[in-house]
Amino acid sequence: MNYALLARQPDMEYYFGMSEIFITGHRNPDMDTLCAAYSYAVLKNSIDRVNHYTAVRCGHLSDNVSAQFGIIGIEPPPYMRDVHPKVADVVRTDVDPVQASLPVFELMRIMNKYEKRPSVIPIFDGDSFKGLLSIDDIAGWFLNDNLAEYPEYELTVENIERVLQCRTLKKGKKTKFHATILAGASHVEQHPNAIVVMPFGERYIKQAMKSKAPAIILTDVKGKLPEMDWKDYEGSVFVSDIELTETIRRLRRAPTVSNLLGQQGHVLQMSDMFDEAKEHLSSSKLRGLAVFDGDRYVGFVTRRCFLRKPKHNVILVDHNEPTQSIRGVEEAVIREIIDHHRLDAPKTDLPIFIDAEPVGSTCTIIYQLFVRNNVVPDIITSKVLLAGILTDTILLRSPTTTGIDVLSVERLAPLSGISDYRAFGHAIFEQVEGLESRDPAKVITADMKVYSEGGLEIGVAQCEVPTLHDIGSYSQKYLEALNTVKDAKRLDWVLLMITDVLKCRSMLLSSGHKFEERLNFEKIGEHMYDMRDAVSRKMQLLPEIIYAVNG
C-alpha cells in the first residue's frame, strides 16, 4: 500500500486537518508496544512527505522495560499523557507584544500592519506581561476622548517627541504630566494645567508662560525661530514644523498604551482543557484571555479560537480497544490501527487502514509493512523491531509465534548487525528483576489490560521474572495488592500472570472471584494456580477467563 498517496487525498487531508500524527501503544507500555510505535514512526516518516509522525507512550515505564531499552541503546518514546484538545492546540502566538510605554499613536500604526487586525494585543512592561488590550478597550478610550469636554491626558516628554517628531527647545522639570490640550493661549487662564499648542506669537507665548502651562508646543515653524527668553519658564518647549490641527490630532494620541488597558480576565494555562477554557471565555464579556506556560506568557485565545474543536491524529499500535489506549482517544481522529490482538476498535467516521494479523508481535506486522513498501529499516530500527518480536514471542517460544515471526527475526538479525539473535534475546530478558523487592501495586499495574466480559471489568496483568522458585516468599503480599488494585481501579476481578521467560513456565495469582474455580489450571494454594508451560496472556489465559465467565 502506498501510504504517501493515501495521505495526499484532498478529502482526507481536509478532514484530518493537522499534519502532526502521534503513534501510540497501550497504557501499560511493554517492549512490543514501544518498539512498534518507534519503528512505525520511522516507516511512516520515510514514505509520507506530507505529514509528520511522532512515536509516544501513554504510560509510565517499568524498571524492566527501561533496562531493556538500555540494551538496544536508544531512549524509549517520550511520555504523552493524553490527546484531549487543550488550550495549547488553539493558542495564538502570531501577535507581537507592544510595550505599555508606547504612545497610542504608535499602537495604531502597529495594528494597521496586520492584514487581519487582531481583536486583542498583548501589552508588556519591559519583560513583564501587563495585560491584553482589546479593540473594545481602544474603542472605549476613543469614545470617552471624543465625548469629554476638555479631556485630560497623561503625557510624557518622550512620547510627545515621538509622535510629533519635533525638537525640544527646552525640557522642563516634569517629564510626565496630566493635562488638557488647548489650541492657542486665549483661554489659558481658565485651564492653567493645559498644554498650549499654537503658532509662534510672542504675546501669546508670554501669556502661556505666565499661566505656568506644563508645556508649550509651537507649530508650523518652517524656518529659524525668533529669539525668545525662556529662562523663567519651568515647563517644556517643543518646536514642530507640523501645522496646528495635525499637531493636536497627534498629541491626543500621545498618551501611553497602558492608559487604554481595561478589565483583565482569567489567565489560562497551555495545559487547560479546550472545553473549560471555552467556558471561561464565553461566560465573560472579554474578547480574549492570556495564555501562560507556568509563569511564562505564551500567547492568547479569542472567541474565534473556539469556533472549531481541534482533534489530534493518532495511530494505535499493539492495541485497539479505547480503554487500553491513550486518554482522550475518543476525541481524537484515529488514522490507522496496527495490532495482533482481538478487535474491539472504536467506531470511526471515515474508512481507515487496519492491519490486524494473528502473529506473535506487532513488530512483526510493522516489519512486513517495511517490506511491502520496499523500505529497508536502518540498523537501529532493525534492532528495535527485533527486540520487540523476541520479547513478545518469548524468544519465539510463545504459542502465539508464527512462521512469519520466525522469518522476520531471521531477516532482521543481520540488518541489526546481530549474529546470534538468541543471545541478544537472552541479554534483554536478563534485565528482568525478581518480584520480592519490588512494589506489588506497581508490578500489577505496569502491564495490566482491562477487558469487559460478561458484564465484568477484568484486569489481567502479566510480569516476567528470572525464576519462580521464590514465589512463596512474596505471593501473599501480591495477593493483597491484587485486591487493593481491584478496589482502586473499580474492577470486578484482577489476575496476575507471573512468567519465567527463560524456562517458559507461569504461575497465576487471583484477587478472588466466584468464576475463579472454573479456571482450568492446577490450584496450588489459596487464589494461586500453576499454569505450567503457559506463557501467553492472550492465547493461554484470556480464553480461560472468557470461558470461566461465560461458560
CATH class of 3-85+311-429: alpha beta
**In sequence order, which residues have a C-beta less than 8 Å from that of residue 517 and are 6 or more positions away?**
none
Name the helix (H) or strand (E) containing 449: strand 448-453
Show me where the domains of the chain are located.
3-85+311-429, 89-143+259-306, 152-251, 440-550
Is there a contact between 92 and 301 (Cβ–Cβ < 8 Å)?
yes
Quote the pLDDT of residue 367: 98
Nearest to 373 by CA among 39, 109, 30: 39
| 136-160 mean pLDDT | 90
For 212, the grid coordinates are: 505656568
E-strand stretches of 30-83: 52-56
The share of the chain scoring above pLDDT 90, in percent, equals 72
- For residue 14, the model assigns a pLDDT of 37
Mean pLDDT of 473-502: 95
Distance of alpha carbon 54 from its chain centroid, rounded?
13
* Residue 551 in this model has a pLDDT that exceeds 80: no
Burial tier of 406 (Cβ tally within 10 Å: 0-12, 13-18, 19+): middle
Q: Contact at 8 Å (CB) between 265 and 198?
A: no
Q: Among the CATH numbers 3.40.1390.20, 3.30.360.10, 3.90.1720.10, 2.30.130.10, which is that of 152-251?
A: 3.40.1390.20
pLDDT at 188: 74
What value does the mean pLDDT of the chain take? 91
| pLDDT on residue 7 | 34
CA proximity to 172, closest of 226, 208, 222: 208
Q: Check residue 353 and give its pLDDT.
A: 96
In the CATH scheme, what architecture does the domain 440-550 have? Roll (3.10)
Q: Is 83 within 8 Å of 312 (Cβ atoms)?
A: yes
The answer to whether residue 1 scores a pLDDT higher than 70 is no
CB 156 within 8 A of CB 176: yes
Mean pLDDT score, 440-460: 92
C-alpha cell, 491: 474492577
Which amino acid type is present at position 87? V
What is the per-residue pLDDT across 100-119, written as a single tens digit (0 to 9) for each? 999 999 999 999 888 888 99
Mean pLDDT of 31-44: 98
- The predicted structure's pLDDT at residue 150: 85
pLDDT at 67 over 80: yes
- Over residues 333-379, the pLDDT tens digits come to 999 999 999 898 888 989 999 999 999 999 999 999 999 999 999 99
CATH 3.30.1360.40 fits 89-143+259-306, yes or no: no
Does residue 159 surpass a pLDDT of 80?
A: yes
**Interval 75-94: pLDDT, tens:** 999 999 999 999 999 999 99
Give the CA distances from residue 354 to residues 334, 350, 369, 379, in Å, rounded to whole numbers and listed in that order.
10, 12, 12, 27
pLDDT tens digits, one per residue of 292-321? 999 999 999 999 999 999 999 999 999 999
Q: Summarize pLDDT for 195-228 with one digit per residue, the tens.
A: 889 888 888 888 888 888 889 999 988 877 778 8
- pLDDT of the residue at 2: 38
**Positions of E strands within 135-174:** 153-156, 167-170
